[in-house]
Amino acid sequence: MRKLGLLFVVAALIGCTKKENVDLVNGVPPVSNSMASISETLEEMARLPEAERGAYLERTWPNLSRDVTYFLRRRGKISPEATVSRVEFRYGSLENIGAESARGNRFGYIRDQLVALVSIEGVKEPIVVIVQCLNGTFATEEDLHRLQAVGSHTPIEQFTIGPREGLIHHVDFPTAIALAEAHRIPLYRGREMTERNRITPATARRLEPTTDRLQVTAYVVEGDRFDLARGLFTPSPLRGR
């Protein structure tokens, strides 16, 4: 049985007590809260028949491969020069695996979670992370095959805002707010981009559960260009007209 990153797994788990059995998502400090809002989607997937989960995930998070790749790059897990060839998503539960946390490696389980396998060109083994917390996992290939495959995509990390488009046409909500924050793009509560409606990225994140009835608007215009891999934003010549 081939192991994913075997030497790294062994080294990482030396400091981990295998007798512990903690929830590796909800029972440890997360490496990142960037994708925490996916938890509601995961709860709904647990209620759905297996055959419907992949389509539901695609509808709810259509740009998830871009989101995961973007936040891993921001954490330095993927270099700007590296090319991500594929992001596979698998869903389910696993026992007796190791994972990162914000306070070191732990040993335990995951329940009804989404795991991303991020393949980099020229690198033999994928980066494996739990999507909700972005904690890296130390699992065998056999472990990962026990999870249900629910999607596989090649993220296109460069895009240009088209006519009548917003950031949300290209990335999901957490990434849209992160991009606005990183590039100082104004955010507004509702559709009207007035000073009275302007909000901070922190406020925008708090509004995410309400976006089915209250839009959060990022001020982008046709021709704005984004390079997620290199963290670049090139403003459109139409800005300021």
Mean pLDDT by 10 residues, the chain (241 residues): 42 53 94 96 98 97 97 96 97 95 92 98 95 93 95 96 96 97 97 95 94 90 97 92 58
pLDDT value at residue 19 = 66
Question: pTM of the entire structure?
Answer: 0.88
Q: So what's the pLDDT on residue 184?
A: 97
Residue 80: half-sphere exposure toward Cβ, Cα within 13 Å: 5
Report the pLDDT value the prediction gives residue 214, as an integer from 0 to 100. 85
According to the model, what pLDDT value does residue 241 have?
58
Task: Kindly report each contact of residues 204-209 with a partner whose C-beta sits within 8 Å and lies 24 or more positions away, as own/partner.
Answer: 204/177, 204/180, 205/174, 205/177, 208/37, 208/173, 208/174, 208/177, 209/37
CA atoms lying within 13 Å on the CB side of residue 221: 10
Question: What distance in Å separates the CA atoms of residue 154 and residue 236, rounded to the nearest whole number?
Answer: 26
Cβ-based burial of 33 (10 A; exposed 0-12, middle 13-18, buried ≥19): middle
